[in-house]
Amino acid sequence: MEQLKTIGRELAMGSQGGFGQSKEFLELVKSIGESRSKAEEDRIVVREIETLKRRIVEPEIPKRKMKEYIIRLLYVEMLGHDASFGHIHAVKMTHDDNLLSKRTGYLAVTLFLNDHHDLIILIVNTIQKDLKSDNYLVVCAALNAVCRLINDETIPAVLPSVVDLLSHPRDAVRKKAVMALHHFHLKSPSSVSHLTSSFRKKLSDNDPGVMGASLCPLFDLVALDPNSYKDLVVSFVSILKQVAEHRLPKTYDYHHIPAPFIQIKLLKILALLGSGDKQASEHMYTVIGEIVRKGDSSSNIGNAILYECICCIASIYPNAKLLEAAADVNAKFLKSDSHNLKYMGIDALGRLIKISPHVAEQHQLAVIDCLEDPDDTLKRKTFELLYKMTKSSNVEVIVDRMIDYMISISDDHYKTYIASRCVELAEQFAPSNHWFIQTMNKVFEHAGDLVNIKVAHNLMRLIGEGFGEDAATADSQLRSSAVESYLRIIGEPKLPSAFLQVICWVLGEYGTADGKYSASYITGKLCDIAEAYSNDETVKAYAISALTKVYAFEIAAGRKVDMLSECQSFVEELLASSSTDLQQRAYELQALIGLDAQAVETIIPQDASCEDIEVDKNLSFLNGYVQQSLERGAQPYVPEDERDGMVNVSNFRSQDQHESAHGLRFEAYEVPKPPMPSKVVPVSLSSSTDLVPVPEALYSRETHQVSSVGASETAGSSELRLKLDGVQKKWGRPTYSSPGSSSSNSSSQNPANGVTQMDVATVVNSKSRDSYDTRKQRIEISPEKQKLAASLFGGSTKTEKRSSTSNKIPKSSVSAADRTQESKAAVVPSEVSREKTNRQTPPPPELLDLGEPSDTVAPPTLDPFKQLEGLLDPNISTSINHSGAAVTNTPDIMSFYAETPASRESGSGGYNIPVSGDNVNLLSELSNAAARGTTEETTMTSLPQSVKGPNVKDALQKDAKVRQMGVTPSGQNPNLFSDLLG
Amino acid sequence: MITKPVGVVCRKTLVNRVTRLWLWLWLQLQLQLRALIRFEMIQFVLLISRQGKVRLTKWYSPYSQKERSKVIRELSGMILSRAPKQCNFVEWRGYKVVYKRYASLFFCMCIDQDDNELEVLEIIHHFVEILDRYFGSVCELDLIFNFHKAYYILDEILIAGELQESSKKTVARLIAAQDSLVETAKEEASSLSTIIAQATK
């Protein structure tokens, strides 16, 4: 009986006028329909491909046959097999004069090719010809292809013809032409930018279909730049009004609703135009109110319109009445039994609470219901809503819920997403540190491999730094609670690597700090970890570092260290490790144990993880030695790459040459100089302040150069420029001025600097007394300022954290304005952080007995905001930095830093931005990793969800599932015969 | 020397930092561009049978053949396992997939994050109604053997990922015009009945 029915169907279809498929094709379709497994289906398809490959190249195939082959190819490709060998034949078919073949050819190419396929170039000519055809069906077929295949390179070839078609007598053609232009706009907005007026004209086309189509490009144009289309608000509103009043032909009614799709599109456009514009919004209130009032909430399409109304109301300038109406509609959605409507209701609620937060209150129960619904889609949408609703008062509940859900799901893609959300919320709203650490522990435990490693680093930093609060006891309590919780967690099997790293680090730093646990206990635990995860080198590295620290603290405290046997074997294992990093760490540990308490304490002081290391790249501590050697008549060192360029320079001037080899300085010091390096001390003392004009000139030139480079670039580079300014403010000045202060107190001189000062001293006459005094004043203030800056820094990192995390960059729709703002903010902490660096830099030992008040900690008296302003203002900031450098007594480093970018800048114009920008990076990284971490993290979190595909495991699972589905034969499937609408 | 957690400060070379900075800037630029360029509203249309067999696919955004099979596999696994009472939307790779079941056939459309799901649900229904009108109480078999016709109809409803025509009558008129052309062409070619005779022999 079934069989008969099938045959009957086939007969019916044949007579209905298929393309005259042959028996072969019918059988192919049938056999695939009856195949019992994916493998069988694949076999059939592969056989079919072989046949087609053979047949399609035969000479003189009748057109009808060829058409069928092409359709068979389509079928094969639809089933997921490669039929690229036939693409060229489809292209050939579009050249055919017979409309029927042409149409099939166009269908095939639109399905086979995408817009960057090599064969496109062969079709463009045909399309051009067909667009000019007399037969409107040919034109339609060509326009269909245009909408799929034309890319930004080929747009110019067809654009004129398409524009001509905008005034074609047939509405179908006009409509498709508008859509084609819409497609061009998506591909390359500039290509059709001169056509916006014709889009506006099409809005008043006689045919509603064309008008509806013109809304698509207009929507995109408005989305890009709402301000230039404000004049259309009135027209849109009047069209919407007419549509809602049934003025369009009855054929546009859909389930008794007048042209709902056009209404929705119009509402979308109005939402964009009215956003934040009171005047434009006022035009819309009446018509939207009318639509909401008349809205039909019984049908699906009616609800679609109502939902769009809510979105529009939430987007335009708020109106109390409309908001109320929207809230009522939303209540209906949420109370509905339909999951779809609940979903829409939750989504709409998320939009409404942005404007009137109290709306959510009456729906609490409905939201909770949705949260507990077994439907994942609904649940996720609800989490999205909760995420938007999170405040510091409810964060605990929400994050707990999220974590519970995160544990329960297996979809890695979403797990990553929700984990990052948890981290974000916890960082933003954590009510207590204890809670924060507990939460992070949970996140790490269950999704440790999925979260960004930055999060782990942030956590370590947080525990290490404490919370910037005064109470040191709170910090130590926090640490011991962290240690305790980690000791508890260690026992659990299969912890993620990132989490183990955190555990090891915390145990190493603070395991023995409160004296509750003995060193041997902690080291034992650490060895356990290393043993249990012996194939993870990073964890092992963390473990051995932690061991080193624990032992170092023991030694420093004067206790005798006896290594556990397991530790010893662990260390021995690492000594022979193939990883050089592990080996080095092990050797360091071994060496350290042999040292005495005092040395160890200097090497690894307790609880100093957040102090910054100043790396003296220029070996300034050797300056004294170098000076002595020079005095004894040694030749000064000249860097290798500069040795060639000074062949004909006299021996004595070689020092200057060495100096001027850095391109930027070369021009500034052309005046002859008396060669008296030994008299440096008194002269430089006075001259250092007078140097000001010279570096100033240099400085402005530098900025100018940089800005001219950056001018042509986009917002990204302007950000760079901002940072760069910071660098120059910071590094430009102290180069010249700071040696003065150090030279006044110490006899050890950097020869290079000495020369510089002296040179300038001769150029600029010394009226240094008074300026030196002012400078001295500054020096006296500076420790306070620095202290302030440091405390501000703590504060500013916090605010920075907030602002950056709450910006929700993942939406990826951050406007350019936002970005510049952000970048501005980013400059501040890096500046401040540099201050901090300076402050923390330990002064070289020989300078410790200075009269300078470098170590006095005066109470902060300055307005912190002024300080900040000062940091941003070049004039003031230079003075601050200048004095800051003087106090810290690290002029050499500064000067060399300044030289490096300068010399590179002279080297290549393109390179200078990254180099100097990099300096900012370097420093902010040193002392501001926390703040930076969060900003970076926000960008990173957005990354995985867009870039990361589902992993292999997931795909395999799903594949298996599909195969399972495919196993059931569909040949006798009665379902095939049931009407789709029945 | 002062200890530090290994990861907090990455001691990398200068060059590395520079590349990282550029990479970051590039990423920002990409994000910005992504925000500016709006892609097609409908990314693709899929028709899958209850057994997970593909009945029709139409891609409005570029996907390679490999990606296509992967997408179909993933989505069919996700959608076919859903209970009838659950909502007709699935979140997938940052997009939303709206699906509706008619008899044994699932119609799926993949849309952007901020599109109106209910509207898309109705676009699907709109499509099915037109199919129904064309084939006369359409069933899955019609679509299996006449998939190219379904493509032609879809091309009249959706274009460049947007709804092109919301009037059923207009669509029907256009399709009929094309078909009349086919009829005349068919008569020129060899008669269909002979083929059917062959097929049923």
Higher pLDDT: A622 or A861? It is A622
Report residue A471's pLDDT band, with 50, 70 and 90 as the boundaries.
low
The whole-number pLDDT of residue A173 equals: 92
Which amino acid would we find at residue A754?
G
The whole-number pLDDT of residue B18 equals: 67
Distance from CA of A981 to the nearest CA of B (A): 6
- Tokens for A793? 């820094």
For the cut 70, the answer to whether the pLDDT of residue A596 exceeds it is yes
- Of A102-116, A256-270, A596-610, B64-78, the poorest mean pLDDT is in A596-610
Mean pLDDT, residues A342-369: 84
Instruction: State whether residue B199 sits within 8 Å of chain A by CB.
Output: yes
Instruction: State whether residue B112 sits within 8 Å of chain A by CB.
Output: no
Report residue A809's pLDDT band, with 50, 70 and 90 as the boundaries.
very low
Q: What is the largest CA-CA distance in chain B?
A: 93
Which amino acid would we find at residue A244?
A
Cα distances (Å, whole numbers) of residue A822 to A661, A796, A803: 38, 13, 8
Instruction: State whether residue A506 sits within 8 Å of chain B by CB.
Output: no
Mean pLDDT, residues A881-899: 42
Cα distances (Å, whole numbers) of residue A625 to A140, A332, A619, A675, A748: 86, 84, 11, 21, 9
The whole-number pLDDT of residue A933 equals: 39
For the cut 50, the answer to whether the pLDDT of residue B199 exceeds it is yes
Distance from CA of B51 to the nearest CA of A (A): 5
Residues 23-62 of B with CB under 8 A from A: 24-29, 31-32, 34-40, 49-54, 56-60, 62
- Of A204-218, A244-258, A773-787, B70-84, the poorest mean pLDDT is in A773-787
For the cut 60, the answer to whether the pLDDT of residue A849 exceeds it is no
- Which string of DSSP letters, residue by residue, matches A871-908? HHSHHHHHHHHHHHHHHHT-HHHHHHHHHHHHHHHHH-
Task: Decide if B110 contacts B44 (C-beta within 8 A).
Answer: yes
For the cut 70, the answer to whether the pLDDT of residue A844 exceeds it is no
Instruction: State whether residue A956 sits within 8 Å of chain B by CB.
Output: no
Of the candidates B31, B54, B166, which has its C-beta nearest A262's C-beta? B166
Report residue A206's pLDDT band, with 50, 70 and 90 as the boundaries.
confident
Of the candidates A809, A950, A980, which has its C-beta nearest B105's C-beta? A980
A497-523 in b/e burial notation, b at 16+ Cβ within 10 A?
Answer: bbbbbbbbbbbbbbbbeeeebebbebb
Whole-model pTM: value is: 0.61
Task: Decide if A427 contacts A458 (C-beta within 8 A).
Answer: yes
Residues 910-929 of A with CB under 8 A from B: 914-915, 917-918, 921-922, 925-926, 929
Say whether A186 and B104 touch across the interface (CB within 8 A): no
For the cut 60, the answer to whether the pLDDT of residue A234 exceeds it is yes
Q: In what helix (H) or strand (E) does residue B48 lie, and over which residues does it extend? A: strand B42-49
Closest residue by Cα to residue A464 from A616, A615, A612, A598: A612
**Cα–Cα distance between A357 and A687 in angstroms, integer?**
64
HSE toward the beta carbon, residue B113, CA cutoff 13 A: 12
- CB-CB neighbors (< 8 A) of B122 in chain A: 254, 260-261, 300-301, 304
The whole-number pLDDT of residue A57 equals: 85
Report residue A878's pLDDT band, with 50, 70 and 90 as the boundaries.
very low
Interface test with B, best of A140, A165, A417, A962 (most B CBs within 10 A): A962
Higher pLDDT: B39 or A118? It is A118
The whole-number pLDDT of residue A264 equals: 92
The whole-number pLDDT of residue A337 equals: 86
**Cα–Cα distance between A91 and A380 in angstroms, integer?**
45
Task: Decide if A549 contacts A601 (C-beta within 8 A).
Answer: no
Say whether B132 and A980 touch across the interface (CB within 8 A): yes
Pairing of the two strands B42-49 and B105-111 = antiparallel
Report residue A247's pLDDT band, with 50, 70 and 90 as the boundaries.
confident
Residue of chain B nearest A351, judged by CA positions: B114
Most confidently predicted of A330-344, A473-487, A553-567: A330-344
The whole-number pLDDT of residue A664 equals: 47
The whole-number pLDDT of residue B139 equals: 87
**Cα–Cα distance between A906 and A912 in angstroms, integer?**
8
**Cα–Cα distance between A901 and B18 in angstroms, integer?**
13
- CB-CB neighbors (< 8 A) of B16 in chain A: none
Closest residue by Cα to residue A755 from A671, A655, A664, A665: A655
The whole-number pLDDT of residue B30 equals: 57
Report residue B31's pLDDT band, with 50, 70 and 90 as the boundaries.
low
- CB-CB neighbors (< 8 A) of B169 in chain A: 251
**Cα–Cα distance between A28 and A36 in angstroms, integer?**
14
The whole-number pLDDT of residue A38 equals: 81
The whole-number pLDDT of residue A308 equals: 92
pLDDT digit string, tens, across residues A683-728:
434 434 344 344 444 444 444 444 444 334 433 333 333 333 333 3
**Cα–Cα distance between A819 and A806 in angstroms, integer?**
13
Say whether A107 and B88 touch across the interface (CB within 8 A): no
Report residue B201's pLDDT band, with 50, 70 and 90 as the boundaries.
low
Instruction: State whether residue B154 sits within 8 Å of chain A by CB.
Output: no
Higher pLDDT: A396 or A748? It is A396
Say whether B132 and A176 touch across the interface (CB within 8 A): no
For the cut 90, the answer to whether the pLDDT of residue B138 exceeds it is no
Say whether B119 and A973 touch across the interface (CB within 8 A): no
Of the candidates A19, A340, A975, which has its C-beta nearest B104's C-beta? A975
pLDDT digit string, tens, across residues A482-498:
888 888 888 777 778 88
- CB-CB neighbors (< 8 A) of A148 in chain B: 60, 160
Mean pLDDT, residues A135-148: 90
- Of A75-89, A101-115, A778-792, the poorest mean pLDDT is in A778-792
Q: Domain residue spans in chain B?
A: 1-37, 42-166
- Which string of DSSP letters, residue by residue, matches A716-774? HHHHHHHHHHHHHHHHHTHHHHHHHHHHHH-S---HHHHHHHHHHHHHS---HHHHHHH
For the cut 70, the answer to whether the pLDDT of residue A523 exceeds it is yes
Topology of domain B42-166, CATH: Beta-Lactamase (3.30.450)
Distance from CA of A643 to the nearest CA of B (A): 24
How many beta carbons lie within 10 A of that of residue A423, not counting itself? 26
CA-CA-CA-CA torsion for A153, A155, A158, A164, nearest 10 degrees?
A: -160
Interface test with B, best of A15, A414, A980, A981 (most B CBs within 10 A): A980
Say whether B139 and A980 touch across the interface (CB within 8 A): yes
Residue of chain A nearest B26, judged by CA positions: A716
Say whether B31 and A814 touch across the interface (CB within 8 A): yes
The whole-number pLDDT of residue A498 equals: 81
pLDDT > 70 fraction of chain A, expressed in percent and rounded = 62
The whole-number pLDDT of residue A941 equals: 39
The whole-number pLDDT of residue B5 equals: 47
Distance from CA of B142 to the nearest CA of A (A): 7
Instruction: State whether residue B15 sits within 8 Å of chain A by CB.
Output: no
Mean pLDDT, residues A108-129: 87
How many beta carbons lie within 10 A of that of residue A789, not counting itself? 29
The whole-number pLDDT of residue A746 equals: 40
- Tokens for A170? 């047939």
Q: Please give the mean pLDDT across all residues of chain A.
A: 69
**Cα–Cα distance between A144 and A111 in angstroms, integer?**
11
- Of A386-400, A428-442, A492-506, A964-978, the poorest mean pLDDT is in A964-978
For the cut 90, the answer to whether the pLDDT of residue A752 exceeds it is no
Of the candidates A148, A943, A979, which has its C-beta nearest B103's C-beta? A979
The whole-number pLDDT of residue A305 equals: 92
For the cut 70, the answer to whether the pLDDT of residue A323 exceeds it is yes
For the cut 80, the answer to whether the pLDDT of residue A981 exceeds it is no
Q: Give the position of tokens 């800056």.
A: A789
Instruction: State whether residue B176 sits within 8 Å of chain A by CB.
Output: no
Beta bridge partners of B139: A979
The whole-number pLDDT of residue A554 equals: 82
The whole-number pLDDT of residue B128 equals: 92
The whole-number pLDDT of residue A763 equals: 40
The whole-number pLDDT of residue B107 equals: 94
Phi-psi region of A889 (alpha: psi -120 to 50; beta: other; left: phi over 0): left
Mean pLDDT, residues B170-187: 77
HSE toward the beta carbon, residue A583, CA cutoff 13 A: 5
Residue of chain A nearest B195, judged by CA positions: A22
Residues 524-553 of A with CB under 8 A from B: 538, 541-542, 545, 548-549
Residues 486-505 of A with CB under 8 A from B: 501, 505
For the cut 70, the answer to whether the pLDDT of residue A5 exceeds it is no
Of the candidates B18, B102, B190, which has its C-beta nearest A981's C-beta? B102
Q: What is the largest CA-CA distance in chain A?
A: 116
For the cut 70, the answer to whether the pLDDT of residue A813 exceeds it is no
For the cut 80, the answer to whether the pLDDT of residue A968 exceeds it is no
Distance from CA of B48 to the nearest CA of A (A): 11
Of the candidates B6, B20, B163, which has its C-beta nearest A541's C-beta? B6
Mean pLDDT, residues A428-441: 79
- CB-CB neighbors (< 8 A) of B25 in chain A: 716-717, 719-720
- CB-CB neighbors (< 8 A) of B48 in chain A: none
- CB-CB neighbors (< 8 A) of B118 in chain A: 300-301, 303-304, 307, 340, 344
pLDDT > 70 fraction of chain B, expressed in percent and rounded = 71
Instruction: State whether residue A731 sits within 8 Å of chain B by CB.
Output: no
Say whether A17 and B190 touch across the interface (CB within 8 A): no
Mean pLDDT, residues A18-28: 70
Residue of chain A nearest B189, judged by CA positions: A64
Q: Among the residues of A232-338, which ranges form H helices?
A: 233-244, 260-274, 278-294, 300-315, 320-335
**Cα–Cα distance between A168 and A22 in angstroms, integer?**
39
Is this prediction's ipTM beyond 0.95? no
Which amino acid would we find at residue A54?
R
Say whether B7 and A501 touch across the interface (CB within 8 A): yes
- Of A249-253, A375-379, A554-558, A848-852, the poorest mean pLDDT is in A848-852
Instruction: State whether residue B12 sits within 8 Å of chain A by CB.
Output: no
Higher pLDDT: A277 or B186? It is A277
